Amino acid sequence: MIGPGMVFRQAIFLLTLMCILAAHAPEQAKAQRTTSPFSVLELDASARAAALGGSIGTRITADPSLLYYNPATLNPAMSGTLALTYLNHIGDLNAGTIAYARDVDRIGTVAGGIRFLTWGSTPETDDEGNEVGSFGASDVVLTVSAAREYAPRLNLGISLHGVFSGIAGERASAVAADVGAVYMLGNDRTAVSATLRNGGFVVSSFGSAEDRLPTDLRLTLSHRLEHLPLLLAVTASNLQAPGDAPSNVEGLSAAMRHLSFSGEFLFSETFNVRFGYNHRRHQDLKMNARLDMAGVGAGFGIKVNRFVLDYAFNSWSTLGGLHQFTVRTAI
């Protein structure tokens, strides 16, 4: 019999391992988050996650899209479920995801998915500025995942990604992995999760400069209130790069860049309302000196017969807003 003390020690061991792996990330990635050609890895992969500002409270859900945030959230309730997500991004950018999960005896819950991002068509000009044609850009990520209950209240999971990016005939590729853990406390209303996302190596880069993967070490604490159908969560992200704030951001504001907050009203199995706030996104996108809604997300989930529709709206300040939809069903 595995006791709670051993489970706790195993969870601490996994978290320590994640920290060690993140600590060995490239110095450039730790000191400052730079633009990555593999930006598709940083897009919200589901409408529910987008509405929550990326701070996803841990609960048993049948949404296989969660594999893109923490593979340890895969569970038997997802078995046989297909999720399709579409994101109407700013300008001509379009993105989407596909995810499918299946429970397999003596293995656990396995899943696979595809993410894509297309950048539309961009005019191509010669040295004198004359338009001579156009070119496109796109990104594709192929993912396989697996998770299982390793000990009572402790789930572990892993995902492997093949990342491919192209622009105007040039190509870049990478191999990445996510490692995750979810630990439920004794009351089953509180959970702690840890994830190391996008750790790996670049196979080929654009040009002569070495491209980087957007590695992200994050911790999430979530709690479902006892007398109110509300799940609250706070996520600390990019913990492998504590000094990545711009030079004009310091003190409490710099620390807040690592935090996002969310709430989810679980009114029933057929209707939920969600909201979230991502402070990093707010700082990076805000354009108004006073009240600016950049970084704020909201949305809802509705179940109709065999289908679940999730919707999210995220403010991008004066640039507008992003609308995202996820449809999932058992097949």
CA gap 213, 42 in Å, rounded: 10
**314: β partners:** 297, 322
pLDDT in tens, 33-67: 445 678 889 989 999 999 999 999 888 789 999 99
pLDDT in tens, 165-180: 988 778 899 999 999 9
- The beta strand positions in the chain, using DSSP E, are 81-88, 94-104, 108-125, 131-151, 154-167, 170-184, 190-204, 216-224, 230-236, 259-265, 271-278, 296-304, 307-315, 321-330
The model's pTM: 0.84
H/E run at residue 22: helix 4-23
Q: What is the mean pLDDT of residues 249-265?
A: 90
Whether the per-residue pLDDT at 24 is higher than 90: the answer is no
Sequence-ordered list of residues with C-beta below 8 angstroms from that of 308, at least 6 positions apart, any chain: 62, 63, 301, 302, 326, 327, 328, 329
CA gap 62, 59 in Å, rounded: 10
Whether the per-residue pLDDT at 6 is higher than 70: the answer is no
Q: What is the mean pLDDT of residues 260-264?
A: 97
**272 vs 88: which has the higher pLDDT:** 272
CB 180 within 8 A of CB 194: yes
Q: How far apart are the first and last CA of the chain?
A: 37
Task: Please tell me the predicted confidence (pLDDT) of residue 14.
Answer: 52
CA gap 278, 265 in Å, rounded: 18
Q: How far is CA 275 from CA 141, 268, 299, in A?
A: 28, 17, 6
- Give Rg (Cα) of the chain: 20
Task: Please tell me the predicted confidence (pLDDT) of residue 125.
Answer: 65
CA gap 328, 307 in Å, rounded: 6
pLDDT in tens, 272-311: 999 999 999 888 888 876 778 889 999 999 999 999 999 9
34 burial level (CB within 10 Å; 0-12, 13-18, 19+): exposed
Whether the per-residue pLDDT at 75 is higher than 90: the answer is yes
CATH superfamily name and code, 4-330: monomeric porin ompg (2.40.160.40)
Q: How far is CA 53 from CA 50, 131, 303, in A?
A: 5, 40, 22
Which among 196, 210, 247, 214 is positioned nearest to 35, based on CA atoms?
Answer: 214
Task: Please tell me the predicted confidence (pLDDT) of residue 122.
Answer: 66
Task: Please tell me the predicted confidence (pLDDT) of residue 30.
Answer: 42
What 3-state class would DSSP assign to 209?
Answer: coil
CA gap 211, 200 in Å, rounded: 12
Q: What is the mean pLDDT of residues 197-223?
A: 88
What 3-state class would DSSP assign to 19?
Answer: helix
- Alpha carbon 11 to its chain's center: 21
Q: What is the mean pLDDT of residues 76-103?
A: 91
Sequence-ordered list of residues with C-beta below 8 angstroms from that of 248, at least 6 positions apart, any chain: none
Q: What is the mean pLDDT of residues 181-185?
A: 93
- Domain map of the chain by residue range? 4-330
Task: Please tell me the predicted confidence (pLDDT) of residue 248.
Answer: 77
CA gap 58, 268 in Å, rounded: 17
**38 vs 234: which has the higher pLDDT:** 234
- The beta strand positions in 168-258, using DSSP E, are 170-184, 190-204, 216-224, 230-236
Task: Please tell me the predicted confidence (pLDDT) of residue 26.
Answer: 45
